[in-house]
Structure 1
Amino acid sequence: MSKRPNLLYIFADQWRRQAVGFRSEEPVMTPHIDAFAKEGLVFNQALSCTPLCSPHRASLMTGKYPQSHGVYTNCKLGADVMLRPDEICIGDVLKAAGYRTGYIGKWHLDLPEENVAERPVSGAREWDAYTPPGPKRHGFDFWHSYGAYDHHLEPHYWRDSPRMIEVKQWSVEHETDVALDFLQRSADDERPFALFVSWNPPHSPFELVPDKYKQLYASCELQLRPNVQAGELNVHTGEKVAGGKERLEQYMRDYYAAISGLDEQFGRLMAALREHGFEQDTVVVLSADHGELMGAHGLMAKHAWYEESVGIPCLMRWPGHIPRGETELLFNSVDIMPTLLGLLQLPIPEQVEGSDYSAAVRGEEGAAGAAAAFLAAFPGRKEVIEAFSSRGLDNRAYGWRAIRTANHTYVIHRGYAPEEPVQRLLYDLRADPFQLQPAHLASADEHEEAMRLEQELKQWLQRMGDAFLF
């Protein structure tokens, strides 16, 4: 290639795989994304290796599992967790290769400033952080970002100083405006560009979405998924959420409204690529960091092994290089970074633990995919960590671990408290796609498939140095 292709990576927060129009699973309207799906490759089995914001993002950036990069829970108050400056991330590789790099939107990979300063100069509060220029930005030169802040209608950002940029505009629209300016400036630059755009919605609070999108669903007939339990809603931490069918349906309407808003802004970005002559020379990826349970199994939010939580949308387009269609490739968070570098013909750092599936993405004959994907979640609440540590236990050895194949999900759950009993659950995803009838096993020896999957899971845990079962 005389010039390497550009990269535009767009991902939303808490957007589940099922909630997009072309799948016809939920009544969400996404005409621009539906059109894009016809032009590119749709990943039907894309997964979040740890369905929580910061762990997925760290795996996306490093190609490594949380056991290795250390971001096993969210970067939040009271947790000494952040993406280490010495990690080699995709942005570092892109910058070293001569790309014009940019990052716009939610970062959520830095230590909250209030963990180290009572009143940070930047104005960052609670989980939020200003990430200054330098190694913690991991190769991204243009920066219009924030740590974690969920006021979608009045967002704020930082660039290259602690001066907070406050905005009264829906965050997705504002970030798209900034991205459009980045693309326009790239048209006059000889270097290829690599731009990451991280939208926070449809992450809660669900109601913080412009009225014009809410109106699309004001009279929409909703049908609850067969696994939804609307009576009493919980999150993985054990906290209660305001429930009931009427309240859940309002959450759903607002959730779909936000996704339709994403769709409109995505359409603007695709139009800009055409306008500037980038369309043929740009790898475009549209994805998410994890899903949203939205009442499935009586749960809200994420951090569970159910498909509504671990399943993420993923679509790729590169005209003439990535064939149109669908793929059943098990595509995990850790595989994104090496696969993108493989498509761009850039070196993959030795420490990467995911797989380069660029040959399979290009449709090359004989290209192999994964037989299994590995998933994990770890207790991360401050009081829970203290409960483990008071007993001399490492909280990171608890939670749940899972192996996901094309046909099965096998879960071992040690609990989020020291005294909880171990559970073994086997789901047949073909016969029971809504995961309503798992096999509850006292031991893997009770089921031939569980025996095989547990052995494979144990081998992975050993490779990761994970003390989960040992």
Structure 2
Amino acid sequence: MNQKRPNLLFLFADQWRRQAMGFMNEDDVITPNMDQFAKGSRVFDHALSCTPLCSPHRAALLTGRYPITTGVFTNCKIGAEIGLQPDEMGIGEVFKQEGYQTAYIGKWHLDVPEQNYEEEPESGARNWDAYTPPGPRRHGFDYWYSYGTFDQHLQPHYWKDSKEMIQVNEWSVKHETDVAIKYIKDHKDNGPFSLFISWNPPHSPYDQVPEKYKKLYEDKEITLRPNVSKGPFSAHTGEKLGGTQEELIEKTKNYFAAVTGIDEQFGRLLTFLEEEGLADDTIVVLSADHGDLLGSHGMMAKHVWYEESVGIPFLIRWPENIPVGRDRETLINSVDVMPTLLGLMGLPIPDTVEGIDLSQAIKGEDGIRPDAAFLACYPGRDVFLQAFEKAGLDPKSKGWRAIRTIRYTYVIHTGYWPDEKTVVRYLYDNQEDPYQMNPLEIKDPKEHEVAKQLDKVLWEKVKELKDPFTIA
């Protein structure tokens, strides 16, 4: 066993679904570096986003706490006072306290947009974007090269330690990888480091990807998933997005092209670690914040319980410490990542954590393996929040809650509007129906043995988290 304190390189892409890796044999995507990395890593088939939306997952990832607890139940956006509170204890704070060098590069999306407070912020941040100044809102990350949220992948911008915006004319993934390599080169001899990189692609707009990656798919035949409709498409939260299947194929090819570009940059980082003699002493994690439906079930984007939305990649490598192979038995939820990494690295896990330390399971030892993962989404669009405010009701009391086991998904959905009265319950057998096309609608969970068990688990979790969800 390696006695040296390991480094951590944690990479996560935005809106990148678990199916979009070549070795998974699901999406027709080209990822040679990921495929090779998978052969030397532990690959989790059941990694999940507890709330498949950017800000909620990020808050859960860093704190090990559910969105209902942190208050980051929807995206940090104009008109909503939602952001990760400075007093939340996150993984960055733990690393810093334990003497690690800490760094964050890329999309943050955990701060209240500056335009909630002033029309023309000095930083230049607009819409949902925000400059996060040095201090507690950076949650322990000392090196900072980041932005709030800004979906211009070919012309990104960043801030360091002042309000001066750094504007770049280069694909964000390539640029952020360059910055990361320089950071490691400059800091590798100063003690162990923990570096988080948040790539924004393959998040929409899908066409903002370098042409060299698009060309790989120009003449490539791709097969859409059996649950993809012909269009028009919508979001689960009600937005009508239109589009035909032909247009969807183009978007899907561009999405795959972005993933191939990410694969190339990921390969650069792996090669750099090898060349610098850091590979054996660095835990490398490759993941995402949530998936993308890409037409499945007639929908785009995320915010729904389907596997294309909640299923995320989770690959982890630590030579001689973590056994290589596919893990088909361990559920790993957003809230479990922080305590698991700290457990693996022998660092203290804060008492505030609600997730589970799965480090023993990851190391192939006898340890805790949860039977179920709790998933949830809440009304978060501006129109929903305004309607709940007008009605004097809590938006967190509605939406959907779900229990995901290795085999089943059980969901209760009460709608996103305050006056919706319909309650639907679905049970999916993901083993017999992997594309979730034939759910069993449950009228009374007491009349179905599996639904009865999962309904009990769901309501126990709702009670434990003091979740205001109700079907009354």
Q: Is the structural similarity TM-score above 0.5?
A: yes
Structure 2 equivalent of residue 256 of structure 1: 256
The SS at the match of 1:214 is helix
Deviation (angstroms), 1:178 = 0.1
Task: Work out the CA distance in 1 between the residues paired with 2:251 and 2:311.
Answer: 19
The SS at the match of 1:283 is strand
The SS at the match of 2:253 is helix
Note if 1:380 corresponds to 2:412.
no
Task: Work out the CA distance in 2 between the residues paired with 1:85 and 1:293.
Answer: 33
Aligned pairs (5 A) from 1:149-298 = 149-189=150-190, 191-298=191-298
Structure 1 equivalent of residue 427 of structure 2: 426
Note if 1:130 corresponds to 2:131.
yes
> For 1:100-148, what per-residue CA distance to the aligned partner results, in whole angstroms no more than 9, with x for missing partners?
1100000000010000111100000000000000000011010000000
Task: Work out the CA distance in 2 between the residues paired with 1:433 and 1:255.
Answer: 22
Contact 2:4–2:281 under 8 Å retained in 1: no
The SS at the match of 1:123 is coil
Contact 1:106–1:147 under 8 Å retained in 2: yes
Task: Work out the CA distance in 2 between the residues paired with 1:294 and 1:372.
Answer: 26
Contact 1:55–1:74 under 8 Å retained in 2: yes
> For 1:327-356, what per-residue CA distance to the aligned partner results, in whole angstroms no more than 9, with x for missing partners?
121000000000000011000000100000
Structure 2 equivalent of residue 447 of structure 1: 448
> For 1:156-196, what per-residue CA distance to the aligned partner results, in whole angstroms no more than 9, with x for missing partners?
0000000000000000000000000011112332x101000
Task: Work out the CA distance in 2 between the residues paired with 1:308 and 1:187.
Answer: 37
Contact 1:290–1:302 under 8 Å retained in 2: yes
The SS at the match of 2:375 is strand
Deviation (angstroms), 1:390 = 2.0
Structure 1 gaps, min length 5: none
Structure 2 equivalent of residue 412 of structure 1: 412
Structure 1 equivalent of residue 38 of structure 2: 37
Structure 1 equivalent of residue 15 of structure 2: 14
Task: Work out the CA distance in 2 between the residues paired with 1:355 and 1:85.
Answer: 23
Task: Work out the CA distance in 1 between the residues paired with 2:29 and 2:230.
Answer: 20
Deviation (angstroms), 1:418 = 2.4
Structure 1 equivalent of residue 458 of structure 2: 457
Task: Work out the CA distance in 2 between the residues paired with 1:149 and 1:412.
Answer: 33
| Paired AA for residue 388 in structure 2 | F
> For 1:29-80, what per-residue CA distance to the aligned partner results, in whole angstroms no more than 9, with x for missing partners?
0000000000010000000000000000000000000111110000011111
Structure 1 equivalent of residue 396 of structure 2: 396
The SS at the match of 1:198 is strand
Structure 2 equivalent of residue 104 of structure 1: 105
Task: Work out the CA distance in 2 between the residues paired with 1:99 and 1:467.
Answer: 38
Structure 2 equivalent of residue 47 of structure 1: 48
Deviation (angstroms), 1:231 = 1.8
- Identical columns (%): 58
> For 1:210-239, what per-residue CA distance to the aligned partner results, in whole angstroms no more than 9, with x for missing partners?
000000000110111110012210012211
Deviation (angstroms), 1:279 = 0.3
> For 1:1-30, what per-residue CA distance to the aligned partner results, in whole angstroms no more than 9, with x for missing partners?
764100000000000000110011111000
Contact 1:183–1:272 under 8 Å retained in 2: no
Task: Work out the CA distance in 1 between the residues paired with 2:436 and 2:177.
Answer: 37
Structure 1 equivalent of residue 337 of structure 2: 336
| Paired AA for residue 323 in structure 1 | P
Contact 2:10–2:196 under 8 Å retained in 1: yes
| Paired AA for residue 162 in structure 2 | S
| Paired AA for residue 113 in structure 2 | P
Task: Work out the CA distance in 2 between the residues paired with 1:415 and 1:428.
Answer: 23
Task: Work out the CA distance in 2 between the residues paired with 1:387 and 1:187.
Answer: 51
| Paired AA for residue 332 in structure 2 | F
Structure 2 gaps, min length 5: none
Contact 2:404–2:410 under 8 Å retained in 1: yes
The SS at the match of 2:391 is coil
Deviation (angstroms), 1:276 = 1.2
Task: Work out the CA distance in 2 between the residues paired with 1:162 and 1:323.
Answer: 45
Task: Work out the CA distance in 1 between the residues paired with 2:137 and 2:340.
Answer: 23
Task: Work out the CA distance in 1 between the residues paired with 2:275 and 2:186.
Answer: 13
The SS at the match of 1:200 is strand
Task: Work out the CA distance in 2 between the residues paired with 1:340 and 1:151.
Answer: 32
Task: Work out the CA distance in 1 between the residues paired with 2:79 and 2:368.
Answer: 43
The SS at the match of 1:103 is strand
